[in-house]
Structure 1
Amino acid sequence: MTQYNSTIQWLYDQIPPYQFKGGDSYKPGLSRIKNFLKFLGNPESNLRFIHIGGTNGKGSTSHMISSVLQEFNKNIGLFTSPHMFDFRERIKINSNEIDKQFVIDFVKKNKNYFLSKKNSFFEISFAMAIFYFKLQKVDYAVIEVGLGGRLDATNIINPLLSVITNIGYDHSKFLGKKITSIANEKAGIIKKNIPVLIGEKNLETDKVFIEKAKRESSKIFFAEDFLSIDSELGLDVNYQIKNKNTAYAALQILFENKISMEVFRKGILNVRENTSLKGRWEKVSNKPLIIADVGHNEEGFKEIVSEIKKIKSQRKIFVLGFVKDKPIKKIIKLFPKEGIYLFSSPKISRALSLKDLNLILKNTDISYQICESLEEAYNRAINIASKEDFIFIGGSNFTVSEILKP
């Protein structure tokens, strides 16, 4: 095992991330991260931030904004979570992941501090990102919220613009069961005298954002009031159109008309190359057509299934695995009944067990098989598929990463 791999494994063992353990690893609140950044010399000072929150699309929107700004000849720091294959995916400058030696040195130098102060894995990752961006002198740092907004570690930044993509039912255990409660938590990133952009209008949640913006003397914008972007402009699935429109509106607010449509178009078309965006309607193979997507909540699956239904294929085969805290019954009802379904569980403690999965599935009207591993499920799908079939891999970030791991 390399020194880098042993460092990351040590972190996982000492401070398991939310993506593996779930609620037990969730530590809301800003005092720990404020103190950690103070210990590091307040590297967030003088950095120019764009803060992206919301339920769905915040990762894609963050990558789009980063890509367009790179085409605008800017050096961009990008912090997102969770990662798919390697921790370093969380922290990038342009398309380059954080240097392995920097990760090793940062952990070695600061581990006594963050162990004694009981910082969360997310707080350590975020502090590392900010420290790295400061040293590398990025022009802008695009920061994706981890969970919620108001009490998320990223909320200590003072951004040029706050963006809330949309509001849906996810992480209700922490954010509340009412859509307005979730919106209130997300609205926590709206700060005094800093403009805020809302990606999607919604009668219930708009009031929450408008009232919070008013209290903070923040100018509020809605992406729908800006130019709608051509659907053919890269990432050609409908659910990404909303994210493109939000990214375009954000850049218009920040730069007015300085970023041309040509630069924006180039940034969207090159988003995968510029930012190493993974797991968003990612094409794995052409014949058979295999698509992987990390969408993991009801609203996300509505968009994904809408795209799947447009695909003309002989048969549709689904390889799915879920984590515990999702409304699986509601999600399964969204999928076409005539598909071939292969289910299993990702190899993490948060995974929905095969036993619990079967209890849910036997009350549905789909034809399914449960496999001992995701690898077995995927191999079975490959073996039964013809070149005219379609295979979808999804259910969670962990399902996609386990199957597609290099």
Structure 2
Amino acid sequence: MSKIPPSQSSSLDDWLCYLDNVHPASIEMGLERVAQVATQVDILDTNSKIILIGGTNGKGTTARCLESMLLAQGYSVGTYASPHLIRYNERVRINGKELDDHYHIDAFQLLDEGRKDLPLTYFEFGTLGALAIFKRFAVDYVLLEVGLGGRYDATNIVTPFASVITTIDLDHKEYLGDTRELVGYDKAGIFRTGTPAIVGDLDIPATVIDYGKEIAADLVLSKRDFIFTPNIDRFRWQYQDYDYEFANPAIPAQNAATALTVLAKLDLLPDEAKIAHCLSALSVEGRFQQLSEKPLVYTDVAHNPESARYLAGKLQQLRDRGFKIHALVAMLADKDKAAVFESISAKVDIWSLASLSGPRAENAANLASYLDQSVQAQCFDSVAEALTHVMPTISDDTALIVFGSFLTVADAIQHLQN
């Protein structure tokens, strides 16, 4: 693949291919190169207030909740998320909307010329490109999702107005460590002295709190400073003088409670009626998303133990309604597959397994080895092949859940759209 930069008239796909090949590594931890390029192209000098959102799971749903409530109050908002499902454009939103390709191309052109001989990874290009776009639009607030960990993630070059950790669990253990304490310490690297640091995890590792105290961050902690109380169809949120109860939204109510606390801490919380309206209208692609009614098909990006436990709860709700569960699973090889299957197996009646494509992909035969030996599972070469075979067999009393990766969800959505 050529490493010659595309021209301004090239397509976004051409630029993405170039970004994917211009650096020898897909991940390179560290902030020095990214910060230097950001300074060279002058994208950090901005009046936008940046809310930095880290966590193992729930970053996207928390960001979507914050975005909705800020927009409802008339603020302009830029949101950066990764990875995308179908189109790269999903990663950057201005006021809740994706942008035309030329905005991304302009940003990549600026960065490629401004970086000189400094190498950037695909994710680093994307992060800096988003910051360039947000400065171009001069938005009031930027919601910036952390990619991997926190301390050495490319997003951590900014000066946040507030920092948020949604949840903490084991994922990317080769980079972040194999205990929640190590993972938490890395994620706490997005905290800043004297700056609000809101943590929504329900069992916060001591390393997070200790680091926050060490640097004198303005810590706001779940179960200490704010309380989230779930019920069957509603949840209660309490923080300082606030004591509200809302219907459970389409996103995890825990993430909604964290978002509410962020806004309350920053004096940006809308009134109770506006909050209820925003929560009732929330939806996030790939998060227990219904793709079909007959047959009943859901998809979810769950790919680590914590997200699998949340999905297991949603599947139990379907079982309580009388549905059997047919699971179609495809995962990446570097995920904790044993823990994922352990978290969800009791809720599944029928198994189908599919292979993914790409260098990190796991094949269906290896996935099968993580199931109990008494379980029989059909194996397929792709998600599309599995859906072609399985969909006609789904009876009215069965719900199909397709999960295991963003790639799995993307393949399912594209197959059903076609």
Q: Please, what TM-score do these two structures have when normalized by structure 1?
A: 0.90
The letter of the residue matching 1:350 is R
1:17-166 maps to which residues of 2 (within 5 A)?
24-114=25-115, 116-166=117-167
Matched with 1:345 is 355
Cα distance in 1 for partners of 2:312, 2:375 equals 15
Superposition RMSD on alpha carbons, in Å?
2.2
Are 2:78 and 2:94, in contact at CA under 8 Å, matched by a contact in 1? Answer: yes
Asked if 1:260 is matched to 2:259, the reply is no
Matched with 1:303 is 310
The letter of the residue matching 1:262 is A
Asked if 1:4 is matched to 2:4, the reply is no
Deviation sequence 1:21-53 (CA, Å, 0-9, x none): xxx411111111111111111344332101111
Cα distance in 2 for partners of 1:347, 1:113 equals 34
Structure 1 residue runs of 5 or longer lacking an equivalent are 17-23
Cα distance in 2 for partners of 1:138, 1:96 equals 13
Are 2:198 and 2:219, in contact at CA under 8 Å, matched by a contact in 1? Answer: yes
Greater Cα offset, 188-197 or 336-345: 336-345
Cα distance in 2 for partners of 1:331, 1:46 equals 42
Deviation at 1:116, TM superposition (A): 2.8
Deviation at 1:234, TM superposition (A): 5.3
Matched with 1:210 is 209
Deviation at 1:80, TM superposition (A): 0.8
Cα distance in 1 for partners of 2:275, 2:408 equals 32
Matched with 2:334 is 325
Deviation at 1:270, TM superposition (A): 2.7
SS at match of 2:168: coil
Are 2:79 and 2:144, in contact at CA under 8 Å, matched by a contact in 1? Answer: yes
Matched with 2:259 is 247
Higher strand share: 2
The letter of the residue matching 1:341 is W
The letter of the residue matching 2:152 is L
Deviation sequence 1:281-331 (CA, Å, 0-9, x none): 111122332111111101110110121022134432111100011121222
1:385 to 381, 387, 394: 394
Structure 2 residue runs of 5 or longer lacking an equivalent are 1-8, 236-245
Cα distance in 2 for partners of 1:210, 1:241 equals 23
1:269 to 266, 270, 280: 280
Matched with 1:20 is none
1:213-252 maps to which residues of 2 (within 5 A)?
213-224=212-223, 225-226=225-226, 228=228, 230-231=234-235, 233=247, 235-236=249-250, 240-252=252-264
User: Residue 331 and residue 337 in structure 1: after superposition, are their counterparts in 2 closer, same or farther (change >3 A)?
Assistant: same
User: Residue 170 and residue 183 in structure 1: after superposition, are their counterparts in 2 closer, same or farther (change >3 A)?
Assistant: same
Between Structure 1 and Structure 2, how many residues are aligned? 389
Cα distance in 1 for partners of 2:70, 2:194 equals 24
User: Residue 6 and residue 322 in structure 1: after superposition, are their counterparts in 2 closer, same or farther (change >3 A)?
Assistant: same
Cα distance in 1 for partners of 2:282, 2:348 equals 34
Cα distance in 1 for partners of 2:348, 2:193 equals 52
Cα distance in 2 for partners of 1:134, 1:166 equals 29
Are 1:49 and 1:159, in contact at CA under 8 Å, matched by a contact in 2? Answer: yes
Cα distance in 2 for partners of 1:110, 1:180 equals 36
User: Residue 352 and residue 113 in structure 1: after superposition, are their counterparts in 2 closer, same or farther (change >3 A)?
Assistant: farther
Runs of 4+ with >4 A deviation:
112-115
Deviation at 1:15, TM superposition (A): 4.7
The letter of the residue matching 1:201 is L
Deviation sequence 1:236-263 (CA, Å, 0-9, x none): 46xx01011101111100116x521122
Deviation at 1:109, TM superposition (A): 4.0
The letter of the residue matching 1:85 is I
Deviation at 1:387, TM superposition (A): 2.5
Higher helix share: 1
Cα distance in 2 for partners of 1:337, 1:70 equals 38
Cα distance in 1 for partners of 2:374, 2:250 equals 31
User: Residue 123 and residue 227 in structure 1: after superposition, are their counterparts in 2 closer, same or farther (change >3 A)?
Assistant: same
Cα distance in 2 for partners of 1:403, 1:69 equals 32
Cα distance in 1 for partners of 2:99, 2:106 equals 12
Are 2:353 and 2:368, in contact at CA under 8 Å, matched by a contact in 1? Answer: no
Are 2:365 and 2:379, in contact at CA under 8 Å, matched by a contact in 1? Answer: no
Matched with 1:21 is none
Q: What is the aligned-residue identity percentage?
A: 27
Compare relative contact order (CA 8 Å, sep 6+) and give the higher one, 1 or 2. 1
Are 1:223 and 1:245, in contact at CA under 8 Å, matched by a contact in 2? Answer: no
Cα distance in 2 for partners of 1:234, 1:148 equals 28
Are 1:53 and 1:163, in contact at CA under 8 Å, matched by a contact in 2? Answer: yes
Cα distance in 2 for partners of 1:337, 1:178 equals 27
Deviation at 1:208, TM superposition (A): 1.8
User: Residue 140 and residue 92 in structure 1: after superposition, are their counterparts in 2 closer, same or farther (change >3 A)?
Assistant: same
Matched with 2:242 is none
SS at match of 1:350: coil
Deviation sequence 1:312-362 (CA, Å, 0-9, x none): 34432111100011121222223237621111122222111234334444x
Are 2:303 and 2:340, in contact at CA under 8 Å, matched by a contact in 1? Answer: no
Cα distance in 2 for partners of 1:281, 1:355 equals 25
Deviation at 1:194, TM superposition (A): 0.5
Are 1:68 and 1:266, in contact at CA under 8 Å, matched by a contact in 2? Answer: no
Are 1:71 and 1:266, in contact at CA under 8 Å, matched by a contact in 2? Answer: no
Matched with 2:180 is 179
SS at match of 1:116: coil
Greater Cα offset, 286-295 or 189-198: 286-295
